[in-house]
Structure 1
Amino acid sequence: MEHPTALSPALVPDRRSRILDRLTRPILDTVLPRIDSRVLASTRPFTTPEVMRPHAESRRWAWTHYGVFLPELPSPHRYLNTMTFIGATGALAFDNDYLAADDARDTATVLSSTAAEGQHHYRAYDAGRDCSFAADGSRLDWGRDLSITGAYPYFHVRGHYDEFDVSLDIRATDQVSWFVRTPLYDHLSLFATATGTLTDKTGTVAIEQTLCTFEYARCMSPQSLTAQVLPTQRKLPVDFFTYQIINLDSSTQVLLTEVRAAGAVACRLAHVRSLDGTTRVYDDVAMTVVSYRPKPLVDPRGRPMRVPRQLRWRVRDATGAQILILDAEVDSPLRYGHGRGYVGAYTYRGTWQGRSSVAGSGYMEWIDCESGQ
């Protein structure tokens, strides 16, 4: 059974748990640094492809995520994303409860889009009825819409959506960026290249070899304990998320991430990786929203969300030297369905390593539930 995205029952106001909000900061500030090995692991080769399993019937791992992101394509597409979840997250920013399967733990979703007109697929599925996930991850099918096949380092992505089709061949490197690496939650991004095609009613466009990412996550959550959707008061208070990808040139990619929960920072990192094998991780990172769009976006449930018009990133190394200054203007349609938020593209200009000018188009994911929206 496929669940439509535009349902219209009356809105129920979010009522967050003050207790969970108050506990979040000491956990993130004190406990997480002691158990998270993400920075060290991001400087070592990837040697554990066996972790990338769907765990579709697991009651230990509440959810898994597979993602493939091409951050810069020629206009009008500009980017191509394939963003999936298997299982409900139990987190405020990522759950759309109105799409839940009869057993919330069986909820699966696919978001795939570009900036081209009409190229936006967002749909929910019942993993037990609509999907087929091989236990070893070698074949993953979300209904008839999306399949991801293969095994590290080679993957194939086939998307067959209402308005467009996608075919991608992915070759991953052994360079891995970890956003989280703990006993409770793993989230990684493999540096990769892609070739393929995009097809719509106007014809087929070839995707020449380009830098991309192949991503995987698995996470424990209170949602795994119950078939019922967790009420807002019991969801993990992750309320701000942005993830942005830019290809500085034909061999160098930058990942920019900021995640907050109840006002505390869970992740604020810049990962830089190059096809020559160079990998760097920076934690002296600042993102500033220079301006928001005059009006918030409103999702199919009537929920408003403020979204940026202009952004600035600043990345420095351990000595304080400027690594990256980036000014970005969000100038593409924003596509709903990354959890409660949106994805899209921006045009950026900046300075790399204090001397080189850079410019291009980047990919952005954005969820902002902080302001009581």
Structure 2
Amino acid sequence: MNSTDPRPVAYSSADRHGGLRRIAVDAATRLMRAANQDRVVRTGLPEQLTFPPSSTERFGKGAAHYGIMIADLPEPHRFLANMIIIGATGFKAWDDNGAFTGAPRGTCQLGWGTAALAGNSFHVFAPDDVRLEPAGRSLEFGDDYRLDIDYPEIRVRSTVEGLDVDLVLTSTDVVSWVADSAFYRHFSFLCTYTGTVGVTGETPLAVSGTGTFEYGIGYLPYMDLPRPLPRPLKLPADFFSYHVIDLDAERQLVAVVLGAFGDLTAGVGAEVRSVADGAQRFGDEVSFEVLDFAPEPQSYRGRSTMPVPVRFRWTFTAAGDVSEIHGTVDTPWLYAGIGYIAGYSWSGEIDGEPRNGRGYVEYADRR
């Protein structure tokens, strides 16, 4: 491998190397009560389903995340990216310091689009440009975007960049927890959706299927600073990839990998979710590796330059049985602040049966 090649990407839930760095990573993930393949932090619904809770109400403190992820839209859209980050997290993998012109607190970032998006996928709004109801049930960016949450229904309406979307997601009680601590809480609902997706000026497409709604919140004192943390002082979580994979009309696989210190696995987890069976860990050992990278790294307006994959593989091992998913990115990458988002086709063997379908991927490599 020459010096111009991207750094290898290979993470596994069985990774235990790292010495003192490993001890620090394990201590941090346990302090945040972060899930891993061998550790489920919680299985039930949140006690309060208000968005957001008081700590980020009216942009008072902390960082918050709203996300809608859909992997199975028809042509030409293929997937939907709806990534909202309020504030700065302090994680190397997720923060783009160039997005902030002032204090991070209250600054809203919107990553938005489908494979048919012709315009800009990344938008930054100052607190004065955003309307957030006290209970967090409505979030508006100008006249072009509105997110309403009245659990179990979530409605998103947007004409941002000429992409005309009106979707109603209905949440099931199937929930996956990424973390559940005083510092960081993040959960994800399996949803069904119906609505329309189109390009302004054309007849919209009627769509339906399964998707994901996510909400996360965190607070540490550095989030109150007037400027984002400089890169050397950020938390050393420097690689991140999140996937929503449609297995069939009723089941989805969600999988995540977080890396730290350049080559350590901080966390890997995968769950199969369905209305009938709930959320269940998939495999005892999970690994993710990039097989081929794009010829040129991805960048956004001269910053956030990073190599992105063309082909990758998930491997799930349980009691000696191996399931695999081989993904091939087949859409443009959309910048979303936390990294890049795309759609992909996949094929593989799940529980001994050949399968194929579509997937959604978030990818950030800031090592």
Provide the TM-score with structure 1 as the length reference. 0.85
Unaligned 5+ segments in structure 2 are: 1-17
Residues 24, 299 of structure 1: alpha-carbon distance in 2 compared, 3 angstrom cutoff: farther
Q: Identify the residue that residue 74 of structure 1 maps to in structure 2.
A: 74
Q: Kindly indicate whether the alpha-carbon contact (under 8 Å) linking 1:292 and 1:309 is maintained by their aligned counterparts in 2.
A: yes
Q: Which structure has the higher relative contact order (CA within 8 Å, separation 6+)?
A: 2
In the TM superposition, what is the alpha-carbon distance from 1:23 to its structure 2 partner?
A: 7.5
Q: Residue type of the partner of 1:365?
A: E
Distance in 2 between the 1:68 and 1:35 partners?
23
Superposed counterparts of 1:247-286, under 5 Å:
247-262=246-261, 263-282=263-282, 284-286=285-287
What is residue 301 of structure 1 aligned with on the other side? 302
Aligned residue in 2 for 1:349: 347
The CA distance in 2 between the partners of 1:331 and 1:31, in whole Å, is 36
TM-superposed deviation, 1:233: 1.9
CA shift, 1:69, in A, is: 1.0
Query: What is the identity percentage for the equivalent residue pairs of Structure 1 and Structure 2?
Result: 29
Residue pair 1:110, 1:142 contacting (<8 A) in 2 also: no
Residues 57 and 135 in structure 2, CA contact (< 8 A), matched pair in contact too: no
1: CA distance, partners of 2:19 / 2:333: 32
How many Å separate the matches in 2 of 1:24 and 1:48? 36
Kept in 1: contact 2:68–2:211 (CA 8 A): yes
Q: Name the CA distance, whole Å, in 2 between partners of 1:300 and 1:119.
A: 13
Paired residue secondary structure (1:204): coil
The alpha-carbon distance between structure 1 residues 212 and 258, as it changes in their structure 2 partners (threshold 3 A), is same
Structure 1 unmatched runs, 5+: 1-20
CA distance in 1, matches of 2:46, 2:264: 29
The whole-number CA distance in structure 1 between the counterparts of 2:357 and 2:256 is 19
Q: Which residue of 1 aligns with 2:360?
A: 363
1:46, 1:175 within 8 Å by CA — same for their partners in 2?
A: no
Tell me the equivalent position of 1:158: 157
**TM-fit CA distance, 1:88:** 1.7
The whole-number CA distance in structure 2 between the counterparts of 1:258 and 1:214 is: 18
Measured against aligned partners, the alpha-carbon deviations of 1:17-50 in whole angstroms (never above 9, x if no partner) come to: xxxx998642321353366164445543555424
Closer/same/farther in 2, CA of residues 99 and 346 from structure 1, 3 Å limit: same
CA deviation after TM superposition for structure 1 residue 346, in Å: 1.1
Q: AA paired with 1:95?
A: D
1:125 aligns with 2:125: yes
The residue matched to 1:49 in structure 2 has which SS? coil
Q: Pairwise mapping of residues 209-224 of structure 1 onto structure 2 (< 5 A)? A: 209-224=208-223
Deviation at 1:224, TM superposition (A): 1.9
Q: Give SS of 1:199's match.
A: strand
- 1:352 positional shift: 1.1
CA distance in 2, matches of 1:24, 1:204: 54
In the alignment, is the contact (CA less than 8 A) between 2:71 and 2:244 conserved in 1?
A: yes
In structure 2, C-alpha distance between the alignment counterparts of 1:169 and 1:225, rounded to whole Å? 34
Structure 2 Cα separation of the partners of residues 223 and 34 of structure 1? 18
> Contact 2:297–2:305 (CA<8 Å) still a contact in 1?
yes
Equivalent residue letter for 2:342? G
Verify: 1:33 aligned to 2:30, yes or no: yes
Q: Would the alpha carbon gap of residues 43 and 228 (structure 1) be closer, same or farther in structure 2, given more than 3 Å must change?
A: closer
CA distance in 2, matches of 1:159, 1:269: 32
Relative to 1, partners in 2 of residues 1:42 and 1:196: Cα closer, same or farther, differing over 3 Å? farther
Per-residue CA deviation, residues 163-214 of structure 1 (Å, 9 max, x unaligned), is 2121111100111111122221111110101111113145133343210001
Q: Partner of 1:65 in structure 2?
A: 65
The root-mean-square deviation of aligned C-alpha atoms, in Å, is 2.3
